Structure 1
Amino acid sequence: MNNAGKLRPGGAITALVTPFRDGEVDGAALEDLVEWQVLSGVDGLALCTAAGEGLSLSPRERRMVLDICIRTAADRIPVIAAAGTNCTESTIALIRDAEECGARAVLVTVPFYSKPGQKGIVRHFERIAAATNLPVLIENAPARTASDLTMETLERLAEFEAVVAIVDSTGDIARFANLPPALRQRFRFLSSHDAAALPFHLSGGDGILSAAANILPRLVTSLQKAAYGSHISAAFALSDRLLPVVAALGPEDDPARLKYALQILRGTPSDLRLPLVPIESDSRFAIAKSLAPFIGCSVARMTLSI
């Protein structure tokens, strides 16, 4: 497939939440979030990820989310559609739908649950690369998929022109730093761990697929720009401001925590879909306390129940 002029992802890409209201996708709230993210200077949006509760969306809702976000972004920043499943044909179908909607790239996880083995992973992405003109970002999240990418598999994936980036969800900076130079030059590398965003960059990474950017997009973006411009002291100062919020948000990509924080900051509905449920009071207090320096109101006011 022709991937001329393909996207080179980097910087701060927000793994955007999907707001719900009364069991339905809240299109107005989603449009507001996208506009805010664009004006905050983020480098891209990733839709229908784990943070966006992508697997809970029906095909109609998924298309609605893509249409709203792509229309609202209006080519000001690239929109990346998560399209990974544990079935190759289903994944290709989602990718084609993303193409029709106008996505600039797709994020495809290593197949989950079925644990296909390294040969199966290579064949999976070989078929995907042959089926699309869109750039493919591969998400390696062994904690979610029970499958990891070996060095040999990365070398095989490097043969597929469509594959432009690896999103590392392992949190293992040493493993990334020790990759062979040829692989580091072949792919763009992004982390999905906000707590490790700066160390990842200092080890040679190209950016972050960030859940925390839902909450503090300007801060996450400023950190990436400072690091990219070699303003290391400024980057560390920004990281110090961000880390208390990241710690309060807890596990990466937890929509319940992200949506509670957005409710505090912007009044965005915090509705979830089962099996996700609202967070407990101690977590609400921790999130509200971490956000107090950014919004100038009392923790007591912010911790009113949902």
Structure 2
Amino acid sequence: MIAAALTTPFDQADHVDLGGVRALVEHVVGGGVPAVFVAGTNGEFPALDDGERLDVISAALEVAGPARVIAHVGAATTRQAVRLTAEARRRGAERLAVITPYFVPAGPERVVEHFERCAATADGADVYVYVFTALAGTVVPPALLTRIATINGIVGVKVSGAGTDVVRAYTQATPPGFEVWSGNDAELPEVMVAGGTGIVSGNAGALPTLFAQLLAGYTDQPLVQSAVKTVDGSIANLKYLLDLQGLPGGRCRMAIDGPDADRRAALARLLG
């Protein structure tokens, strides 16, 4: 399984381009990727205010429907995450991702409390724990995930910035049926062998057909790995790829430099 982690487009005045959000969702769904992950790291969520994030979620729901949208509602504080969870749920979201508290690393008891409160507020929606230790600072070892997995409404985890060994450890620490998603989109086969559910791929947001073909077994993994290496995890590079395709990419709102000439040429080669 693959979900595409979408970027957030901004217009010339640096406002969120909701028409552009809809176009990106259509691009991904039309390219054969079965789900989208919106307002996450690739969506520059720390640079969005709450209203903007919720409008991005609503725009995605309009195009793809609640079964195909994973809406990120996490925040640095539990208070803000709970508020976003409640409003996203009111707008019709049925699949919610919640990043761990971040910037100041949270201890295990506060992490458990964070997800208990968000899951209770989700009112029956599926909630995914979002672990990104390299950026968030909060550590979720397998034993802690075992505790979190017992919370009613928590159905899975999305782990970014970690290898397949972490996917394997998480699958072993959680009950059958608990979903384990990886942000390592160069390793879909390895993730599946390790017991994972699939990948949440930033690269699929710009190159959905390539990743849909990987899922269907119609393309070689080395081709995907080459694309991942060229993009190099950069939101600005993903946006440049979208620009090349006539799609809403544009400038990042966060302080991310655009690609240099050599990188632009390499990105263009990905499109043939």
- Same fold flag (TM > 0.5): yes
Give the alignment partner of residue 83 of structure 1, picking from 73, 81, 97.
73
How many residues matched?
270
How far 1:141 sits from its partner (Å)?
Answer: 1.0
CA shift digits 1:113-172 (9 cap, x unpaired): 121111211121122222222211111111011122122211111211211011121422
CA contact (8 A) 2:170 2:180 kept: no
Separation (CA, whole Å) in 1 of partners of 2:156 and 2:132: 14
Give the alignment partner of residue 239 of structure 1, picking from 210, 214, 221.
221
Choose 158-167 or 21-30, whichever is displaced more.
21-30
Q: In the superposition, relative to structure 1, how do residues 280 and 203 fare at CA in structure 2: closer, same or farther (>3 Å)?
A: same
- Establish whether residue 283 from structure 1 lines up as the match of residue 250 from structure 2: no
Q: In the superposition, relative to structure 1, how do residues 180 and 103 fare at CA in structure 2: closer, same or farther (>3 Å)?
A: closer
How far 1:247 sits from its partner (Å)?
Answer: 0.6
CA contact (8 A) 2:24 2:247 kept: no
- Any stretches of 5+ residues in structure 2 without a counterpart? none
- Establish whether residue 205 from structure 1 lines up as the match of residue 187 from structure 2: no
Q: In the superposition, relative to structure 1, how do residues 186 and 130 fare at CA in structure 2: closer, same or farther (>3 Å)?
A: same
CA contact (8 A) 2:171 2:196 kept: no
CA contact (8 A) 2:167 2:181 kept: no
Give the alignment partner of residue 265 of structure 1, picking from 234, 237, 245.
245
- Any stretches of 5+ residues in structure 1 without a counterpart? 1-10, 227-233, 293-306
CA contact (8 A) 2:25 2:60 kept: yes
- Choose 1 or 2 for highest CA Rg: 1
Matched-pair identity in %: 27
Aligned to 1:4: none
CA shift digits 1:92-123 (9 cap, x unpaired): 00111111221121111111112111121112
Q: In the superposition, relative to structure 1, how do residues 184 and 241 fare at CA in structure 2: closer, same or farther (>3 Å)?
A: farther
- Establish whether residue 219 from structure 1 lines up as the match of residue 216 from structure 2: no
Choose 156-165 or 274-283, whichever is displaced more.
274-283
Secondary structure (helix, strand or coil) at the match of 1:14 reads strand
- Establish whether residue 65 from structure 1 lines up as the match of residue 32 from structure 2: no
CA contact (8 A) 1:78 1:103 kept: no
How far 1:181 sits from its partner (Å)?
Answer: 4.2
Choose 108-117 or 32-41, whichever is displaced more.
32-41
Give the alignment partner of residue 29 of structure 1, picking from 3, 14, 20.
20
RMSD (Å) for aligned C-alpha atoms: 1.9
Q: In the superposition, relative to structure 1, how do residues 206 and 225 fare at CA in structure 2: closer, same or farther (>3 Å)?
A: farther
Amino acid at match of 2:113: R
Report the TM-score, using the length of structure 2 for normalisation.
Answer: 0.92
CA contact (8 A) 2:35 2:68 kept: yes
Separation (CA, whole Å) in 2 of partners of 1:29 and 1:131: 30
